[in-house]
């Protein structure tokens, strides 16, 4: 029913009153890249570089990384691409980084940027490879770090990335502490991107890999949306761009709520671009704000969905 009601879409992303909301793709390989281009993505909001190396026994050489990244970036010459540094650990172990040391709680362990701080050489070589690929490809490249919990971590990463010659630096917002210190995090970076998959996992203390806990990891949970509202308010004060690149961004109805909460771009699987674009083109910014308020006022996901559908009808 949802799908049939959506008007057709051919980019760029914008609300019915003309506010641009760039609609970007999540990619992890050259194959994803082709799908993103043909679906009309305006760029890439999340390039999961660890997907290139899930089977790598050894650290890939800097030049090999540069070539692999260039292959993806070249498809987006002149367009924005956000490259995420290796998000290893937990659900995405990389043999050359996470090794065989088992942690009792990998989702709460040394993962993402925490590994980058232990293996600084690996991070620096990746940053150099990304800077090289940016130069080779002509894409407008930004870089961002996964699993950032504090402003100090954001600042540490930003300094390192800028030293490598990368000018646009951001961090993922996927740990609740980073939302609660958003103002200081924003001081350190040029943009942020919300990973709703992990943010939900950490807000609800509910493993995202467990199907039995899927109801808690539902991005329509009002507690998650209220946290995003705090982030949006903080971002408005500083004018910091806030992307959303978790699965939530690919839900057409929820995309209106995310825009109403302050998202300035949305990044999703290529297959969701048309339905999200169609939905956003049919609603004004004012309606997005009303949708967001309706969702925030709800006490559980089904009620939030129903209230938003009602607010937009
Ligand atoms: C997220 O956590 O929402 C996210 C986009 O990153 P990943 O799914 O790769 O952890
Ligand atoms: Mg994540």
What separation in angstroms does the CA of 190 have from each of 76, 165, 232? 21, 14, 15
Going by pLDDT thresholds of 50, 70 and 90, the confidence category of residue 1 is: very low
Residue 287 reports pLDDT greater than 60: yes
From ligand 1's centre to the CA of 238, what distance in Å?
25
Active-site residue flag, 52: no
pLDDT tens, position by position, 27-46: 999 889 999 999 999 999 99
Distance (Å, whole) CA 241 – CA 262: 9
Answer yes or no: is the ipTM higher than 0.95: yes
Residue-level pLDDT at 281: 97
Residue 101 reports pLDDT greater than 80: no
Distance (Å, whole) CA 308 – CA 296: 10
pLDDT tens, position by position, 186-200: 999 999 999 999 999
Distance (Å, whole) CA 302 – CA 31: 35
Distance (Å, whole) CA 132 – CA 73: 11
How does the average pLDDT of the chain come out, rounded? 95
For ligand 1, atom 1, name the residue with the nearest CA: 195
Residue-level pLDDT at 9: 78
Residue 7 reports pLDDT greater than 80: no
26 annotated to bind ligand? no
- H or E stretch covering 242: strand 242-244
Residue closest to 69 by CA, chosen among 105, 29, 40, 41 = 29
pLDDT tens, position by position, 122-170: 999 999 999 999 999 999 999 999 999 999 999 999 999 999 999 999 9
> Are residues 246 and 195 in contact, defined by beta-carbon separation less than 8 angstroms?
yes
Q: What are phi and psi of 28, to 5 degrees?
A: -140, 0
Say what the pTM is. 0.96
What separation in angstroms does the CA of 247 have from each of 12, 46, 72, 174? 20, 12, 21, 12
For ligand 1, atom 6, name the residue with the nearest CA: 195
From ligand 1's centre to the CA of 19, what distance in Å?
26
133-163 as b/e: b if 16+ CB within 10 A: bbeebebbbbbbbbbbbebebbbbbbebbee
User: Is 25 exposed, middle or buried, given 0-12, 13-18 or 19+ CB atoms closer than 10 A?
Assistant: buried
């Amino acid at each position: 029913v949802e799908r049939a009601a959506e008007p057709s879409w051919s980019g760029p992303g914008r609300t019915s009153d003309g506010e641009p909301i760039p609609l970007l793709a999540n990619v992890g390989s050259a194959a994803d890249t082709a799908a993103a281009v043909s679906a009309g993505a305006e760029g890439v909001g999340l390039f999961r570089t660890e997907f290139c190396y899930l089977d790598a026994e050894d650290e890939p050489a800097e030049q090999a990384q540069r070539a692999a990244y260039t292959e993806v970036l070249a498809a987006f010459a002149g367009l924005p691409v956000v490259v995420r540094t290796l998000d290893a650990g937990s659900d995405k172990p990389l043999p050359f980084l996470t090794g065989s040391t088992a942690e009792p709680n990998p989702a709460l362990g040394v993962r993402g940027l925490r590994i980058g701080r232990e293996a600084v050489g690996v991070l620096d070589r990746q940053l150099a490879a990304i800077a090289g690929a940016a130069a080779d490809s002509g894409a407008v490249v930004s870089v961002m770090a996964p699993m950032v919990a504090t402003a100090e971590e954001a600042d540490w990463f930003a300094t390192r990335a800028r030293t490598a010659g990368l000018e646009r630096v951001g961090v993922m917002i996927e740990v609740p502490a980073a939302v609660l210190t958003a103002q200081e995090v924003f001081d350190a970076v040029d943009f942020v991107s919300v990973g709703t998959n992990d943010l939900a996992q950490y807000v609800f203390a509910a493993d995202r890999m467990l199907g039995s806990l899927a109801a808690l990891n539902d991005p329509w949970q009002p507690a998650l949306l209220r946290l995003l509202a705090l982030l949006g308010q903080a971002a408005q004060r500083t004018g910091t761009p806030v992307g959303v690149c978790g699965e939530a961004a690919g839900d057409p109805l929820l995309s209106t709520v995310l825009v109403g909460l302050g998202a300035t771009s949305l990044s999703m699987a290529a297959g969701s671009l048309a339905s999200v674009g169609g939905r956003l083109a049919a609603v004004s910014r004012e309606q997005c704000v009303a949708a967001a308020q309706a969702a925030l006022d709800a006490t559980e996901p089904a009620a939030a969905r129903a209230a938003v559908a009602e607010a937009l009808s």
